[in-house]
Amino acid sequence: MPDESASAGLEQLTDDLHARRAKALAMGGEERVTQQHDKKKLTARERVSLLFDAGTFVELGMLAHQHSMTGGPTEPDRTPADGVVTGEGLIDGRRVYCAAYDFTVMAGSMGMVGEQKVARLRKRALLNRLPMVWLLDSAGARIQEAAGSTFAGSGALFYEQVQMSGVVPQVAAMLGPCAAGTAYIPGLADYVPMVKETSSMALGGARLVKAATGEETSDHAMGGSQIHCYISGVGDLEVDDDAACIAAAREFLSFLPSNNREMAPRRDTQDLRDRRIDDLGKLVPVNPRAAYDMRKVLKRLADDGHVFEIKPAWARNIVTAFVRFDGQSTGVVASQPMIKGGALDIDAADKAARFITLCDAFNVPLVFLQDVPGFIVGTEVEKQGIIRHGAKMLYAVSEATVPKVTVVLRKAYGAGYYVMCGRGYEPDALVAWPSAEISVMGPEGAVDIIFPKQIAAADDPSAARKEYIEAVRKTIDPYIAASWAFVDDIIDPADTRRVIIDALEGAATKRQRRVWRKHGVRPV
Amino acid sequence: MTEVKAELVGNLWKIVVEVGQAVEEDDTLMILESMKMEIPITTPISGTVKEILVKEGEVVQEGRTVAIVE
C-alpha cells in the first residue's frame, strides 16, 4: 500500500520549492523590472537567455540570498539569487560559464553570498578549462556588507581572474554601471563590449569621486563608452543595446578555442580559397604617399568579407581584427594608412601588443598587413614613452609562437617593419607586393642624414638633394629584398588571399619551444 | 559647431576647401604632410566650413584646431 500522506507531503514540499523558485525568477519584483526596461536595459535573466543557445542554461545557486551581517532578520525576498544569476550553458554548442548581475536586486551590488556563487564559477571555469562571461550591471561592492576592516579578507576575485588569464577566454559585457574596484573585472577580461549610454565603468563612481576629490561628474561622463571605446581603450566595442552587446560576446568567443590547449574552431565556408581579388589595385594607390582604407582591403581578403574588429574606434591607425581564412580563425594586425598615415604611436602599439598576446595565448594564427611609415617621432611621443610602448609590440610579436604570416603591401619602414613581424621576428611566410618599399627610412630622410655636407657643398643644393634622393630611391626595391631571400616571394596582389591561406596551412603543425624561464620581463 | 583638429604634427601641405563651403561628413578639408604620408584631415560632421585657422606650409602641432565646421 502506498503511503498517501507521505506522497501528499512530498507534493507540498515540491509546491513550496516551485514557489521559492518563482520568487527567485521574479528578481527584484515587477516595479524594478519595469524600471530596468524603462532604462532600455534587459533583465539579467533575459540577458542570460540571449547569451546561451536556447534551453541550455543550467542555473546554480538560484535559491541563494543575502544574510544579515548585523544579527538582524534575513530577508530572502529582498535579494533573490543574492543579485547575481549564475550558471552554465552552451554558446554555439560549447560550454561557457556566466555570471549576470541583476540590477533589480539591490542595484546588482556584489554581496558575500553572490560573490561566493561567482567564485565557484571561476573555479569551475578554470578546473574544466571553459570560458567565463560576466554580464555586468552592478553598483559595485555591497557597502552594507563590506564597509569596515573585514575588507582585509577580500580581493581574491581578481587574483583568480589573473590565474584564468591565457587559460580560458574571459568576456566582460558592460550592460550597466560597473563602479569602483569591480571595474577591474573588465580590466582583466579579454573582451569588453559596452552598451552606449547605459554602461559605464570607473574605479570610483561619481558619488565616491565627489567625496574623495570634490570633482563633480557622472558615471556616464566619466566612464561611458564614449570614454572607454574612443579615448582610454579599456572598452573593445561600443554597441547600441543589450542584444548587440551579448551578440558581440558570442561572436568574440566563436573565434577562440575553449581553452589554451585546444585549437581555435574552424568554420565551413563557401568562399573559395584561391579567390583572386582583381580590384585591390583600385583600393591601394601606387603613390606611397596617398592614403587608403585598409579595412576595405581586409574585407576583400577575408572569408565572406566578414571582419570582426577589436577596438575599432580607438588607436585607429592600426587595425586589429578576427577574420577567417578558408574557415581558420585568424587574428589580423594591419596598418591603417587612412589614420595618421598608418604611423604607430603609443596607443597603436598597446592595442596591437595586447591583440597579438591574446591570439598567441589561444592558438589563433596571426596575419600582418604592412603599410607602415614607422613610429611617430618627436618630442611629444617621447614624453609619452613611445620607446616603452613600442617595446611592448616588439615583445609581443617576438613571443608569439603561433603561425605568423606577413604581407608587405607598400611601406615597411624602420621599426614599423620589425613590430609588424618583419624577417627578424620569424614569420612563417613573408611576402611582398611589387609596390613594397622595405627600408630603414624613406629616401628623403636618409639623404638628409647621409649626405648633408655633399648637398650643402653643391652648386645647386636643391638639385643635388633631388639627385641623391633618386639614387637612394633606387635602393628601395622589393626585388633587392627578394634577391637576398629576405622576403620569400613577391606576389601578385590579386593572389594575396590564396598566398595567406597556403602559408597558414603550411604552418598549421608549427610547434615552437622557447628557452625555459619563469617569465620574461615584459615592458609595460 | 565642431573644431577640427590635427591628429598628429606635420606640415600643412594643401587646403582643399574654402570658408563658406558645404561639406559632408568625412570630406577632406586639408592635407597634412607627415611621416612620409599625405594625411587627410577630415570633418567629423556635415555642415559649412566656418573658419580656416591655418595657412599652407605651416607646421601644425598635434591637437591644434585647424578649422571650424558648423
The total domain count for chain B is: 1
Q: What are residue A448's DSSP bridge partners?
A: none
CA A340 to chain centre: 22
* Cα distance between residue B55 and residue B42, in whole Å: 16
Would you state the pLDDT for residue A97?
A: 98
Among the partner-chain residues A340, A345, A378, the one whose CB lies closest to the CB of B39 is: A340
B34–A343 C-beta distance less than 8 A: yes
Would you state the pLDDT for residue B22?
A: 95
Among the partner-chain residues A339, A373, A380, the one whose CB lies closest to the CB of B36 is: A373
Question: Which residue range forms the structural domain that includes residue B9?
Answer: 2-69
Are A294 and A211 in the same domain? no
* Cα distance between residue A401 and residue A11, in whole Å: 60
A374–B37 C-beta distance less than 8 A: no
How far is the alpha carbon of B52 from chain A, nearest alpha carbon, in Å? 20
Give the three-class secondary structure for A409: strand
Give a yes or no: residue A272 inside a domain.
Answer: no
Would you state the pLDDT for residue A1?
A: 55
Are A55 and A201 in the same domain? yes
**A30-34, A195-199, B9-13, B17-21 — which is least confidently predicted?**
B9-13
Are A286 and A359 in the same domain? yes
Which chain B residues contact residue A374 at CB under 8 A?
A: 35
Give the CATH number of the domain where residue B55 resides. Answer: 2.40.50.100
Among the partner-chain residues B8, B36, B38, the one whose CB lies closest to the CB of A442 is: B36
Are A432 and A453 in the same domain? no
Are A169 and A297 in the same domain? no
Total CB pairs under 8 A between chain A and B:
46
Are A51 and A112 in the same domain? yes
Give the CATH number of the domain where residue A502 resides. Answer: 3.90.226.10
Are A168 and A216 in the same domain? yes
How far is the alpha carbon of A338 from chain B, nearest alpha carbon, in Å? 7
A341–B37 C-beta distance less than 8 A: yes
Burial label for A3, CB within 10 Å (0-12, 13-18, 19+), is exposed
Q: Nearest residue on chain A to B6, judged by CA atoms? A: A340
A373–B62 C-beta distance less than 8 A: no
Would you state the pLDDT for residue A444?
A: 83
CA distances from A495 to A54, A331, B50, B58 (A): 41, 19, 47, 42
* Cα distance between residue A58 and residue A95, in whole Å: 11
B36–A411 C-beta distance less than 8 A: yes
Would you state the pLDDT for residue A207?
A: 87
Q: Nearest residue on chain A to B36, judged by CA atoms? A: A289
Give a yes or no: residue A269 inside a domain.
Answer: no
Give a yes or no: residue A265 inside a domain.
Answer: no
Would you state the pLDDT for residue A147?
A: 72
Are A449 and A311 in the same domain? no
* Cα distance between residue A160 and residue A45, in whole Å: 25
If you average pLDDT over residues B8-31, what whole number do you get? 92
* ipTM (interface predicted TM): 0.73
Would you state the pLDDT for residue A356?
A: 98
Are A195 and A311 in the same domain? no
Give a yes or no: residue A408 inside a domain.
Answer: yes
The total domain count for chain A is: 3
Owner of C-alpha cell 608549427: A510
Would you state the pLDDT for residue A265?
A: 85
- Distance spanning both ends of chain B, measured CA to CA: 4
In a mutational test of the B interface, the residue from A295, A296, A340, A410 whose CB has the highest number of chain B CBs within 10 Å is A340
Closest CA to A256 of A324, A161, A159: A324
Are A228 and A320 in the same domain? no
DSSP-assigned letters across all residues of A130-168:
--EEEEEEE-SB-HHHH-SGGGGG--HHHHHHHHHTTTS
* Cα distance between residue A512 and residue A521, in whole Å: 20
Would you state the pLDDT for residue A68?
A: 77
Question: Which residue range forms the structural domain that includes residue A110?
Answer: 13-146+155-254
| 8-state DSSP, A484 | T
Per-residue pLDDT of chain A (524 residues; tens, 9 = 90+): 555 555 668 999 999 999 999 999 999 999 999 999 999 999 999 999 999 999 999 999 999 999 877 777 777 788 999 999 999 999 999 999 999 999 999 999 999 999 999 999 999 999 999 999 999 999 888 877 777 787 888 889 999 999 999 999 999 999 999 987 789 999 999 999 999 999 999 998 888 899 999 999 999 999 999 999 999 999 999 999 999 999 999 999 999 999 999 998 899 999 999 999 999 888 999 888 888 999 999 999 999 999 999 999 999 999 999 999 999 999 999 999 999 999 999 999 999 999 999 999 999 999 999 999 999 999 999 999 999 999 999 999 999 999 999 999 999 999 999 999 999 999 999 999 999 999 998 888 888 888 999 999 999 999 999 999 999 989 999 999 999 999 999 999 999 999 999 999 999 999 999 999 999 999 99
Give a yes or no: residue A523 inside a domain.
Answer: no
